[in-house]
Amino acid sequence: MPLHEFDCSKVIPERKQHAVVKGREEDLTSCLPKGYLNTIPGSISERGCAYCGAKHVIGTPMKDVIHISHGPVGCTYDTWQTKRYLSDNNNFQLKYTFASDVKEKHIVFGADKLLKSNIIDAFKAFPDIKRMTVYQTCATALIGDDIEAICDDVMEEMPDVDIFVCNSPGFAGPSQSAGHHKINIAWVNNKVGTVEPEITSDYVINYVGEYNIQGDQEIMQDYFKRMGIQILSTFTGNGSYDDLRGMHRAHLNVLECARSAEYICDELRARYGIPRMDIDGFGFKALAGSLKKIGLFFGIEDRAQAIIDEEVARWQPELDWYKERLKGKKLCLWPGGSKLWHWAHTLEEDLGIRIVSVYTKFGHQGDMEKGISRCSEGALAIDDPNELETLEVMEKLKPDLILTGKRPGEVAKKVRVPYLNAHAYHNGPYKGFEGWVRFARDIYNAIYSPLHQLAFTDISKDDFATDKGFMTRRMISDVDLDDEVKNNTELREYTGGFDSVSKLHDREYPEFESQSAPAAAE
C-alpha cells in the first residue's frame, strides 16, 4: 500500500494509515486510506460533531421549521448561518435559530421544563410556523432529558403543531457523519408515511442529498420541471417538512450527496421499494449523463436530451473560454465529504485541471474509493487531515488553488494560496450547466487574481517597479496563450449575470399529457 507519511505527523505514527498516493498500477485493492474512525489524539481535526452533522447539514435546510437545540447556546450558535442553504420562504431557517439555553443549574436540576416552555414560546413568537425540530446536544443527552415525552406533551396541548426529535448529541460518533446517519434514520422512522402527498405527474421523484447551496436545488428543479417530473420533496435543501413526510410515494429517489443521505434512500428502497439512483449534478458531461439516466428510468430520455442540447449549446463556449486558461493548473480538492468525488473527474475533464490531492474531513472509505477512482495518478488522498498536514501539502505540491471550507481556506490564504469555498461557494450556484461555468469563472478569478501576485511581493525586501500599474487577470492569464485562442470569437467569458436563479422563477413549464393514472412504487 502506497502510504504517505507526513513529516509533521511522524510523532503520530497512526496517521500514516490515513494518507495514500495513487500510483501508476494502483487500484482500490492496494490504495485506500483508513476512514471514519475516531480522530487520533494529538491530531487537531477539522471535523464537526455529530449534532452539527445532524442539524447544520441536514436538519436546518428544511425551510418551514423552527430549529431548536436543546443545550447550551454555544452549540446552536456554531451551527447558525455559516452555510448558505437558501429557501424560497424568505430564508426563515437561515435567519432564525433557537436554543433552550441550558445553564449549570439545569444540568443539576433538569432542563425538561425549560425546554417545554421554550418550545411553546417559540411557536407563539412565530405563529405562522407550525413545525419544529428539536436537536439533542451533549449536555442534555448526559442528564437524560426525555425530549420525546416533552414534545408529545406539547403536541397534545397544541394540536396544530408537529415536532420532530433528532437525538444526535455531539459525542454520538467520530464526526458529523454520525449525525447524518442518525437524522436520516430518525426521519424515516418517525415522519415518512405520516402525510399522503398529492401526485400530479406520471414521473415522481424525491431529490435527496441536495441542500440548495446558493440555489443549487432550484437549478436542478428547473431541469426536472422542464422534463415534466414532479419533485415530491427535497431532502433537505429548500425542503418542506410536510413534503418530506410524504417521501414514501415517490417512484425514484435521485441521490446527490450519498455521504449524507444514502441512508434514507436505502431505507426507502428496503421499506417501500423505491429505487435509489446516484447522480452527479456538477459538470457538463456528468450532469448530462445524470439527466439522461433519470429520463431513461421514466422513458422520457428525449426530454432530457432536448434540455442537454439546449444548455450545452448556450454554455459550452463560455466553459471553453475558461478551459483554455485553466488547463494544467494544479488543484487540491479538499471538501468535507462528497464533493471530492463529485468534482474530481469533472474538473479534470471539463476544465483540464489536474487534481494533485483529495481529502475528506468526515467521509468514509467509500467516499475515498470514489474519489481515488476518479482522480488521476499521483494524487495524494488524505483522510481527516490536520492543519499542519495541509500546510505541508501546500508547501510541497504548490497547488494553484485549494477548494475547501472557510476555516482551512483562511489557512491557505495565509500562505498565499488562493482558495474557493467548496461548502458554501463563492458566487454559486455551481450546479447545472450555467452553474459549472460560474464555478469555472470563480476558479479563474481566484487563480489569476492580481491580489495574489501582489501578495507575493515583499515590499520590505523586494525591488519592485514603481512605474507599472496593476496587472489585470486577463493580462496574467493570456500571457502564454496562442493567438488562435486569444482571437477566437466563438469563445467568451461568462455572460450570465450576477443572479442566475431569480430568472427561473418566471419560467413557464410545459404541460405534458398524462400517460396513465399515477401509481406509487410499492
| Cβ-contact 269, 278 below 8 angstroms | no
**202 sits near other proteins (criterion: CB under 8 A):** no
**266 sits near other proteins (criterion: CB under 8 A):** yes
**274 sits near other proteins (criterion: CB under 8 A):** yes
CA dihedral 450, 346, 27, 278 (to 10 degrees): 140
Stretch that binds other proteins, among 48-56, 118-126, 208-216, 261-269 (CB under 8 A): 261-269
The one among 87, 137, 140, 360 contacting ligand SF4 by CB under 6 A:
137
> Cα(418)–Cα(443) distance, rounded to whole angstroms?
9
| Cβ-contact 381, 357 below 8 angstroms | yes
What is the 8-class DSSP label of residue 58?
I
**369 sits near other proteins (criterion: CB under 8 A):** yes
Stretch that binds other proteins, among 94-102, 309-317, 367-375, 502-510 (CB under 8 A): 367-375
Q: How far is CA 461 from the centre of its chain?
A: 43
Listed in sequence order, the residues at least 6 apart from 65 whose beta carbon sits closer than 8 Å to its beta carbon are 59, 93, 129, 131, 132, 133, 241
Helix (H, G, I), strand (E, B) or coil at 316: helix
Could you give the angle at the alpha carbon of 36 between the alpha carbons of 268 and 141, nearest 5°? Answer: 75
Q: How far is the CB of 364 from ligand SF4 (least distance, A)?
A: 20
Subset of residues 154 to 193 that bind ligand SF4, contact rule: CB under 6 A: 169-170
| Cβ-contact 39, 177 below 8 angstroms | no
Binding partner selected for residue 75 from ligand SF4, other proteins, none, CB under the kind-specific 5 to 8 Å limit = ligand SF4
Q: How far is the CB of 370 from other proteins (least distance, A)?
A: 5
**Nearer Cβ to other proteins (36/419):** 36
Binding partner selected for residue 137 from ligand SF4, other proteins, none, CB under the kind-specific 5 to 8 Å limit = ligand SF4
Stretch that binds ligand SF4, among 38-46, 49-57, 143-151, 376-384 (CB under 6 A): 49-57
Composition of the chain by helix, strand, coil, percent to 5: 45, 15, 40
**138 sits near ligand SF4 (criterion: CB under 6 A):** yes
What is the 8-class DSSP label of residue 427?
S
Q: How far is the CB of 407 from ligand SF4 (least distance, A)?
A: 15
The one among 78, 88, 278, 387 contacting other proteins by CB under 8 A:
278
Q: How far is CA 116 from the centre of its chain?
A: 33
**Nearer Cβ to other proteins (295/408):** 295
Within the chain, how many helices (H) and strands (E) appear? 21, 14
Residue nearest to ligand SF4 (CB): 170
Residue entry with cell 479563474: 444
Stretch that binds other proteins, among 210-218, 269-277, 452-460, 503-511 (CB under 8 A): 269-277
Binding partner selected for residue 70 from ligand SF4, other proteins, none, CB under the kind-specific 5 to 8 Å limit = none
Question: How many C-beta atoms lie closer than 10 Å to residue 53's C-beta?
Answer: 30
Binding partner selected for residue 455 from other proteins, ligand SF4, none, CB under the kind-specific 5 to 8 Å limit = none
Subset of residues 286 to 325 that bind other proteins, contact rule: CB under 8 A: 286, 289, 292-294, 296-297
- Helix locations, 448-491, DSSP H: 450-455, 473-477, 483-486
- Binding residues for ligand SF4, rule: CB under 6 A, are 49, 51-52, 71, 75, 78, 137-138, 169-170
